[in-house]
Structure 1
Amino acid sequence: MRVPASEPDRPEPGTGPEPRGPILFAEDGWSWAWIFAAPLFCASAAVFELVAGAPVHWLMLTVCAVASAMCHGVMIAATRVHGRVRLTPTTYIQGTEELQLDRVQEVLPLPGDGIPEASWETARTLGELREVPRRRRSVGLRLDTGAEVRAWTRDPVALHAALEAAVRSVGTGTGTGSGTASDPA
């Protein structure tokens, strides 16, 4: 099924389906293991109260553990949707936005120390977030329309290398297939 160019390709709620073909680069949001952080902290508080001989606040510790786990669950689910990165031989996925690699004209050089800010460093970010999240760095892309956009990741050097190789293989015809996607510019 083809999606009109005015509508972005959106995966199902959650983390979305995995793209077809080999995954050249992948990154997810937070791990679901973090949902146990608050309950473990509350359990350790209960153990501390038992060891100290103080009255244990079972009801309050239980309420705090459950409420915190629920809040963490919402945040984890959001980061697993919006912080998801997948690169296949034909597609780059950032959050819920898909960009076909045949639309990428050039992977721009990474910023260096002492080098003035490049124009792509203030360009629109791919995905639905307005800015690059904390502890993430961006990789600039120039599209076939001339527009520049920012992909982002925890490991910009690895993503840059993977994107360069994938764009080069699509440009030489060794990539497989192409399709339509929303206009990310």
Structure 2
Amino acid sequence: MTEPTETQPADTQPELLFYEQGASWLWVLAGPAAGAAMAMIQLSAGYGIQWVVPGLFFVLVSGFLAIQVKAARIHTSVELTTEKLRQGTEVTLTDEIVRVYPEATGSETPKWQYARALGELTGVPRGRTGIGLRLTNDRTAQAWARKHRQLRAALTNLIEERIPPEPAP
């Protein structure tokens, strides 16, 4: 009986080609800023600082923003590896992606812009730009990202490595 000469760890991660977090935790700092602003307003009015109102602003604004940032980090993050494209919580295998459509130019809207956006959201999230994808079984979908040109380039390179580009007519 012979033993294999090379062993690979079972938990090897595929190469990360593109990543975009949904939102930054720095937004939560608006809570302390709101509390400090309320304290300054109280001081400038000549009442002295009563900690209930600044404390309430601190807690409410920080709490609300923390919930918003957590949701954005879950639902609007993007990750592309050699094996999968994750948009929010939806995962699409890269083997299912057949083609990346060209960027929309001109006044006419391409058909792919009417396609379903990947992810569990109802459309392309605000501040992101859609990227048309042709999937297996004659399906069309939209990937999206803030840095859409970088994601488009990474997807195009990944697809061209797997499927050679179609010859020009």
TM-score range, shorter chain: 0.7 to 0.9
AA aligned to 1:56 is I
Over alpha carbons, which structure has the higher Rg?
Answer: 2
Q: AA paired with 2:71?
A: A
Instruction: State the Cα deviation string for residues 118-177 of structure 1 (Å, max 9, x = none).
Output: 1110101100000111111100000111110000111221111111001122336xxxxx
Compare 31-40 and 142-151 and name the one that shifted more.
31-40
User: 1-side partners of 2:106 and 2:55: how far apart?
Assistant: 49
| TM-score w.r.t. length of structure 2 | 0.83
Indicate the percent of aligned positions where both proteins have the same amino acid: 33
**Amino acid paired to 2:150:** A
What is the aligned-residue RMSD (CA, Å)? 1.7
Name the structure with the higher strand share. 2
Residue 65 (structure 1) shift: 1.1
| Residue aligned with 2:23, SS | coil
Q: Which blocks of at least 5 consecutive residues in structure 2 are unaligned?
A: 1-11, 165-169
Q: CA deviation at 1:55?
A: 3.0
> 1:24 aligns to what SS in structure 2?
strand
1:85 Cα shift? Answer: 0.2
- Higher RCO by CA contacts (8 Å cutoff, separation 6 or greater): 1
Alignment correspondent of 1:36:
29
3-state secondary structure, aligned to 1:102: helix
> Which of 133, 145, 160 is the aligned partner of 1:141?
133
Contact kept in structure 2, 1:102 and 1:171, CA below 8 Å: no
> Structure 1 64/41 Cα, relative in aligned 2: closer, same or farther at 3 Å?
closer
Structure 2 partner of 1:162: 154
Aligned-partner SS, 2:162: helix
Q: Tell me how far apart the structure 1 counterparts of residues 93 and 163 of structure 2 sit (CA, whole Å).
A: 12
Cα deviation code 1:11-35 (max 9, x no counterpart): xxxxxxxx92221111111111111
Pick from 81, 92, 101 the counterpart of residue 85 of structure 2. 92
Q: Identify the match of residue 145 of structure 2 among 153, 171, 174.
A: 153
Aligned to 2:113: 121
Matched, 1:110 2:103: yes
What amino acid sits opposite 2:57 in the alignment? C
Supply the distance in 1 between the matched residues of 2:13 and 2:90 (Cα, whole angstroms): 16
Report the secondary structure of 1:138's partner residue. Answer: strand
Consecutive aligned runs of 4 or more in structure 1 exceeding 6 Å deviation: none
CA–CA separation in structure 1 for the residues paired with 2:151 and 2:126: 17
CA deviation profile, 1:93-139 (whole Å, cap 9, x unmatched): 1011111111111001110133x111110101100000111111100
User: What TM-score do the two structures reach when normalised by structure 1?
Assistant: 0.77
How much does 1:51 deviate? 4.8
User: How many residues align structurally?
Assistant: 153
Measured after TM superposition, the shift of residue 60 of structure 1 is 1.3
Report the 3-state secondary structure (helix = DSSP H, G, I; strand = E; otherwise coil) of the residue aligned with 2:14.
coil
